[in-house]
């Protein structure tokens, strides 16, 4: 098995710098070691929810860019740390999840990670090595006293209270921190020690805001075992307002297809600002830098056509949900935004895409041989009443199968259905699907 797949005629460090995948690192040695291959590294994920976010997948891509050189990644899901919750960037104690919920979340995350990684392999016809681990397993058979001797002996309270996540909660009289949260960092730091001793893992990969935890794990290994290990952090990806891109509360995009549909994710990336297209393609794809430069150059010729966003959106959906889902999202987008081709596109959709379209916009199933337009509007929730539907007609805002409706007494029969549906539209962007009962 040839795991070494290098796309660029440059060093690993040069490529990561150009892709924006380096924030800080503990030693230059790590780039030489990883470029030779056969190194082992890890990256951790918090199972506080049953779905990863798009932001998490950027860190997975950062790992894949190391795995391409023949290095093995251990994807660690925090079954133990998740029982307490990371206090970083929190001003109050996290709600404790019960063990059953945590185990469920872990399984969901395992599935999402594996699906993403296998989709990447298929998309580029490449191979790389990885393993899933759960830090809950690290503590089987370990009692509290042993843990204190294994970890607590090698780190000072001074170091712990100096961490920003702890310091803020201690100094602010309106805040506080529990002993459980205070101990979180010890459990997290033990991950690196355990993986080094059991699997020979020498590198931890993390976000730039995790640097303190990463470097302290290194320190424990140095003090206890007198061995050198390494840390590499990647920059936080931020939106226009400076917030974590797709990772902070309130604006997270989930990779679980039941929470955010392929079309929803596709449209999210279609709406990315022009200035971010280049950065996101470099981080979130395995396209060569020359290929990305060509995409950006073509995009800049006519930015209004959003060519760069289309390339980015179709790629993201493909690696998250598969090529069929990507094609489906593109078709649904064309129906919503390509007015001249809309009805022809509906006619061409296979049944599964019709179902996806219905799921995206909503609608209803209606019985009868003579279907009144006012009933269609109300039952599909395009309008809340006959009166509202009449106002839509009066304002020339109501369409059925792209025919403008001017008569409130208009009726439709099954012969009017296209691909077994009627497509209702209010204005330019609001759609509903009506199926015959």
Q: Distance between CA 130 and CA 40 in Å, rounded?
A: 9
Span 271-278, average pLDDT: 90
Q: Distance between CA 109 and CA 114 in Å, rounded?
A: 8
Asked whether this chain's domains 262-337 and 357-436 adopt the same fold, the reply is: no
Q: Residue 5 above 60 pLDDT?
A: no
Span 253-273, average pLDDT: 90
- Quick one: pLDDT band at residue 175, thresholds 50, 70, 90? confident
Q: What pLDDT score was predicted for residue 118?
A: 93
Cβ atoms 320, 262 nearer than 8 A = yes
Min mean pLDDT across 107-116, 177-186, 256-265, 300-309 is at: 177-186
Span 156-177, average pLDDT: 81
Q: What pLDDT score was predicted for residue 94?
A: 63
Q: What is the DSSP string of 84-123?
A: T---TT-SSPPPPPPHHHHHHHHHHHHHHHHHHHHHHHHH
Q: What is the DSSP string of 251-289?
A: S--B--TTTS-HHHHHHHHHTS-HHHHHHHHHHH----H
SS3 366: strand
* Residue 2 vs residue 337, higher pLDDT: 337
131 forms beta bridges with 74
Q: In the predicted model, what is the mean pLDDT of the chain?
A: 88
Could you read off the pLDDT of 318-377 as tens digits, one per residue? 999 999 999 999 999 999 887 668 888 899 999 999 999 999 999 999 888 889 999 999
327-360 burial code (b ≥16 CB/10 A, e <16): ebbbbbbebbeeeeebbebbeebeeebbebbbeb
Structure tokens at 308: 């760069």
What is this structure's pTM?
0.87
Q: What pLDDT score was predicted for residue 4?
A: 47
Please state the CATH superfamily assignment of the domain spanning residues 12-234 in this structure: HUPs (3.40.50.620)
Could you read off the pLDDT of 232-256 as tens digits, one per residue? 999 987 766 776 666 434 557 888 9
Q: Enumerate the domain spans of the chain.
A: 12-234, 262-337, 357-436
Cβ atoms 211, 231 nearer than 8 A = yes
Q: Residue 1 above 60 pLDDT?
A: no
Whole-angstrom Cα Rg for the chain:
26
Q: What pLDDT score was predicted for residue 343?
A: 87
354 forms beta bridges with none
Min mean pLDDT across 30-34, 112-116, 235-239, 255-259 is at: 235-239
Min mean pLDDT across 22-36, 183-197, 300-314 is at: 183-197
What CATH number was assigned to the domain covering residues 357-436? 3.10.290.10
Per-residue DSSP letter, 159: H
What CATH number was assigned to the domain covering residues 262-337? 1.10.240.10
What percent of the chain stands above pLDDT 90?
61
Of 38, 86, 6, the residue nearest 199 (C-alpha): 38
Angle between helix 12-19 and helix 54-67 axes, rounded to 10 deg? 160
What percent of the chain stands above pLDDT 70?
93
Angle between helix 274-284 and helix 54-67 axes, rounded to 10 deg? 50
């Amino acid at each position: 098995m040839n795991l070494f797949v290098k796309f660029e005629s440059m060093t690993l460090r040069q490529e990561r710098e150009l892709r924006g995948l380096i924030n800080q690192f503990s030693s230059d040695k790590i780039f030489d070691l990883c470029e030779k291959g056969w190194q082992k590294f890890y990256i951790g994920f918090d199972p506080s929810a049953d779905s990863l976010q798009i932001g998490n997948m950027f860190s997975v891509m950062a790992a894949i860019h190391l795995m391409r050189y023949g290095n093995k990644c251990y994807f660690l899901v925090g079954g133990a740390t998740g029982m307490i919750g990371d206090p970083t960037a929190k001003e109050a104690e996290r709600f404790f999840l019960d063990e059953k919920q945590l185990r469920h979340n872990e399984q969901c995350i395992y599935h999402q990670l594996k699906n993403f990684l296998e989709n990447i392999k298929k998309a580029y016809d490449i191979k790389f090595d990885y393993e899933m681990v759960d830090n809950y397993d690290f503590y089987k058979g370990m009692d509290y006293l042993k843990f204190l001797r294994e970890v607590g002996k090698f780190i000072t309270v001074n170091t712990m209270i100096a961490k920003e996540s702890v310091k803020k909660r201690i100094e602010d009289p309106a805040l506080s921190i529990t002993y459980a949260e205070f101990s979180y960092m010890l459990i997290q730091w033990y991950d690196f020690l355990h993986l080094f001793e059991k699997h020979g893992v020498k590198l931890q990969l993390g976000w730039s805001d995790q640097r303190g935890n990463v470097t302290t794990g290194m320190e424990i290994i140095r003090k206890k075992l007198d061995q050198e290990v390494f840390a590499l952090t990647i920059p936080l990806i931020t939106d226009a307002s400076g917030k974590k891109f797709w990772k902070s509360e309130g604006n997270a995009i989930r990779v679980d297809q039941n929470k955010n549909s392929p079309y929803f994710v596709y449209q999210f990336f279609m709406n990315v600002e022009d200035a971010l297209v280049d950065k996101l393609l470099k981080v979130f794809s395995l396209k060569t830098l020359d290929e990305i430069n060509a995409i950006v150059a073509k995009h800049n010729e006519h930015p209004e056509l959003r060519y760069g966003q289309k390339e980015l959106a179709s790629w993201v959906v493909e690696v998250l949900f598969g090529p069929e889902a990507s094609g489906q999202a593109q078709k649904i987008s064309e129906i919503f935004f390509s007015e001249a081709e809309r009805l022809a596109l509906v006619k061409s959709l296979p049944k599964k895409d019709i179902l996806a379209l219905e799921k995206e916009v909503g609608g209803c199933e209606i019985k009868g041989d003579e279907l009144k337009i006012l009933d269609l509007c109300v039952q599909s929730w395009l309008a809340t009443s006959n009166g509202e539907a009449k106002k839509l007609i009066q304002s020339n805002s109501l369409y059925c199968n792209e025919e403008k409706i001017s008569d409130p007494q208009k009726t439709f029969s099954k012969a009017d259905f296209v691909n077994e549906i009627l497509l209702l539209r209010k204005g330019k962007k609001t759609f509903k699907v009506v199926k015959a009962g």
